[in-house]
Amino acid sequence: MLLLSLHFMKITIDKAAGFCPGVKLAIKKADQFLEKEAEFHCLGSLLHNEMEMGRLSDDGLKIVEKETIPLLEGKKLLFRAHGEPPETYDLTKENDVEVIDATCSVVRKLQKDVKSAAEEMEKLGGQVVIFGKPQHPEVMGLMGHTKGLGVVIRAAQDLAKVDMSRPVRLFSQTTMDDISFELIAKAIKEQMERKNPASDLESYNTICKHVLNRVPLLKKFASEHELIIFVSGRESSNGKKLFNTCLEVNPGTHFISETSEMNAEWFAGMETVGISGAASTPQWLMKEVAKKIEALT
């Protein structure tokens, strides 16, 4: 942990916070190309952090959508950590666009597993079920590997989408909640067994281990400080989830996206302040927050 002593106040930056391995790889690839080229394109926003995206934009990163791929003939295009469906790769190939693939290794393996399950379900007349957010880029990429046999469920009220009389292979979006996945898997199992005691369900908890390990570490960190400053982009679902985790443990938790949002009154009488963030929060931003706290007090 990085410790900064400030009179009576100790400020600690959470060493476990910040970019997950998949985001680190994507940022590294973007920075490498931006060092050599004045302009570099990325399919969709690379991460949900306005400050880091601002830095990359200033360096020449251009965000494009799938519809503009035909206009990028002869150019390079970065695929972010979330991954893409097969049709996107086909589109880049048709239009002579070079793909710089930063798909997270965990997501890439999940795509292969979903594809294999879809091939099996095609033979058995079954379904592939993805526990996740329907419009999330990772889920959209996974659905592209299901051969039209996939359904997405986010909560118990979505279970009607699942044909409980058919074989099912259940997977999870890598950033979903572990307990929620287990509850969904249990509910599907119970409903299938009511229809047919010999039902064929295989469930795979494919939530990223980095995500699973982050929660207990964050709870410990939050409990060790009087005040927590949680730094995240406002559109980051991971940030919202981890902020709420902090808040449950430590009511003295404040959410900010940039240093200007802090209030000097928060720190009055505090002896220990912790700074943490989402999987898309850069370490340089958390260090800036620490410096700003010093200036405020």
* Residue positions annotated with a catalytic role: 138
Whether the Cβ atoms of residue 56 and residue 35 lie closer than 8 Å to each other: no
44 vs 16, 187, 188, 203, CA distance in Å? 26, 35, 34, 30
Tokens of 222: 């939050």
Closest CA to 190 of 219, 162, 213: 162
The distance from CA 135 to its chain's CA centroid, rounded to whole angstroms, is: 13
Give 264's strand partners.
none
Q: How far apart are the first and last CA of the chain?
A: 21
- Hey, what amino acid is at 23? V
191 vs 28, 150, 187, CA distance in Å? 45, 18, 6
Pairing of strands 76-79, 61-64: unpaired
Non-local CB neighbours of 259 within 8 Å, separated by 6+ positions: 288, 289, 292
Tokens of 273: 């302040």
**C-beta neighbour count of 152 within 10 angstroms:** 21
Give 276's strand partners.
230
**C-beta neighbour count of 12 within 10 angstroms:** 19
Pairing of strands 201-203, 2-6: unpaired
